[in-house]
Structure 1
Amino acid sequence: MANKLEYKDLLDAGVHFGHLTRKWDPRMAPYIFMEKNGIHIIDLNKTLECLEKASFALKNIVRSGRKVLFVATKKQAQDIVAEEAKRLNMPFVTERWLGGMMTNFATIRKSLKKMSSIDKLMKDEAYLNLAKRERLMISREKEKLERVLGGIADLNRLPAALFVIDVKREHIAVKEAQKLNIPVFAMVDTNSDPNGVDFVIPANDDAFKSISLITSHIGKVIEEGLAERKKDKDEASQQKEEEAKKAVDTAEEAK
């Protein structure tokens, strides 16, 4: 398992700071340790416990060869999440969640194909022969599509799980995942509803350090799952080779 996060790591990153008590969601009560100066303090022992469960489940999903979609459209999380998802070659949405991105995936795939065909067109010589205005319109359309769909360009089927930062903000994504029985792993703050999230990670989802620490840990877990999948495939391939060799030897002996 990826290096386990310690209580002190979470404390240093401010993972324990919740929202003002008047902004809380009572459904988060089981994850709250206390109130201090009008702010709810998250129980970090619960965070560590939840993180361990989430890590185990996520690792198994990745090991089976399926994709995890990272979702974070809030400003302080966009770069962290996009960077980690790109590093792991996982799909991500950091600009805007389009309604129906998963529940109406067939339409989204059409847009992805359109983006791909525009890309091919722009590399073609015929593109240079177009009028300047036409070229400008095409490049603008490509930019628009890439901004919203660039992170899922290689996604040819629905993801096996979602990793979400701020379920309150990304409630549409969470609802779509629920409809499709896609498990949701999420950082959930004290002002959010944890219902509908399969693997709640109670944590401060506003602070840069907190988002960075949790996302980085999830990234390491996914990386481990990918490494184990590669190992499994190599072992299976080696076994096949040995079996084929045995079969050849047996056939030669039979002659």
Structure 2
Amino acid sequence: MYKLPTLQELLEAGVHFGHQVRRGHPRMRPYIYGAREGVHVIDLTQSEKYLKEACEFVYELGKSGKVLLLVGTKKQAKPIIEELAKEVEAPYLVARWMGGFLTNFEQMQKNMKILKNYLEEKEKGKLSKYTKKEQLLLERKMLKLQKDFAGVMDFNKVPDAVFVVDAVSDNIAIREANRLNIPVVAIADTNSDPTEISYLIPGNDDAIKSIKVLVGAIASAYGEGKKEAGKAAVKEAEKAEKSKEKEKKAETEIAETLQVEVAVAEEMVEKKAVKEAERVIE
């Protein structure tokens, strides 16, 4: 089972530090404990409560075999998102949010297909058909696409939920998800609009320690859910195998019974034929 960080761990990671009071969003007031030296202080009891709810949601998501897309394009979040996403085998975007990634997903798939075809041709040495200038231009374009689509190359459908580290800098991702009614899980700092987020986690989205502890909890919960899904799939496969064996055994028993019955019937017919022959001779 996944482990949630304690209040002490949240405090040590600096999850309670918000933005300057003047930058605060009025709708975040219910999640703010107070202010100190002109900086908002987030109520950690609420951070703990909402983190637990978010983790329960992503755990069930993983358990039911659904896809969670992790998004973190700010500098300090990139390596954390990439590392944890790879650990739980989840798709991720860290280079930048491409406008229309969700709302125009068909076009994104076409771009990914172009990139895959290019990489295949390059591997097979088929790029010699282009001039040196064309190869150079193509290489530049593909390097950009490769950077953008690095974490979603095998992504073939719109995600079932989206996790966002910074609800302000990656607000387009949240808006696109809302437009498609895709649940959003996000860290909500004091400058965020919580009404756009399905499962908000009040917390510091700037400090590396804070991002690491919050993203770590989400990734861990999703990963554990996926493990449970795997166990369930194995049990279902074993159950199906046992059912097949049982059916096969039943079919074998029926076949053997039929053989015995046929043999008995043939013997009776043979005896009857012998008796008939004896009567004719007499």
TM-score tier after normalising by the smaller chain length = over 0.9
CA distance in structure 1 between the partners assigned to 2:88 and 2:251 by the alignment: 45
Task: Compare 158-167 and 59-68 and name the one that shifted more.
Answer: 59-68
TM-score (norm 1): 0.96
Q: Per-residue deviation at 1:82? A: 1.4
Q: Partner of 2:268 in structure 1?
A: none
Q: Per-residue deviation at 1:29? A: 0.9
Q: Partner of 2:141 in structure 1?
A: 141
Equivalent runs, 1:1-150 vs 2, <5 Å? 1-128=1-128, 130-150=130-150
Q: Partner of 2:265 in structure 1?
A: none
User: Over alpha carbons, which structure has the higher Rg?
Assistant: 2
CA distance in structure 2 between the partners assigned to 1:248 and 1:86 by the alignment: 42
Hey, which bits of structure 1, 4+ residues long, moved more than 4 A?
A: none
* CA RMSD, Structure 1 to Structure 2 (Å): 1.2
Deviations 1:161-204 (A, max 9, x none): 10101111111110110011100000010011111100000000
Q: Partner of 1:179 in structure 2?
A: 179
TM-score (norm 2): 0.87
Q: Per-residue deviation at 1:133? A: 2.6
Amino acid at match of 1:46: Q
Q: Per-residue deviation at 1:28? A: 0.5
Structure 2: tracts of 5 or more residues without a match: 258-282
Q: Per-residue deviation at 1:86? A: 1.9
CA distance in structure 1 between the partners assigned to 2:167 and 2:82 by the alignment: 17
Q: Per-residue deviation at 1:129? A: 5.8
Q: What is the SS of the residue equivalent to 1:247? A: helix
Taking only the aligned residue pairs, the percentage that are identical comes to 37
Q: Per-residue deviation at 1:128? A: 4.3
Q: Partner of 1:209 in structure 2?
A: 209
Amino acid at match of 1:177: A
CA distance in structure 2 between the partners assigned to 1:72 and 1:64 by the alignment: 24
CA distance in structure 2 between the partners assigned to 1:212 and 1:194 by the alignment: 21
Q: Per-residue deviation at 1:130? A: 4.3
Amino acid at match of 1:225: G
CA distance in structure 2 between the partners assigned to 1:102 and 1:157 by the alignment: 9
Q: Per-residue deviation at 1:246? A: 1.1
- Report whether the alignment pairs 1:249 with 2:230: no
How many residues are paired up? 255
Deviations 1:1-58 (A, max 9, x none): 3112100100000000011111111101111111112111111111111011111111
Deviations 1:92-139 (A, max 9, x none): 111111111100111111101101111111012322464433322222
- Report whether the alignment pairs 1:192 with 2:192: yes
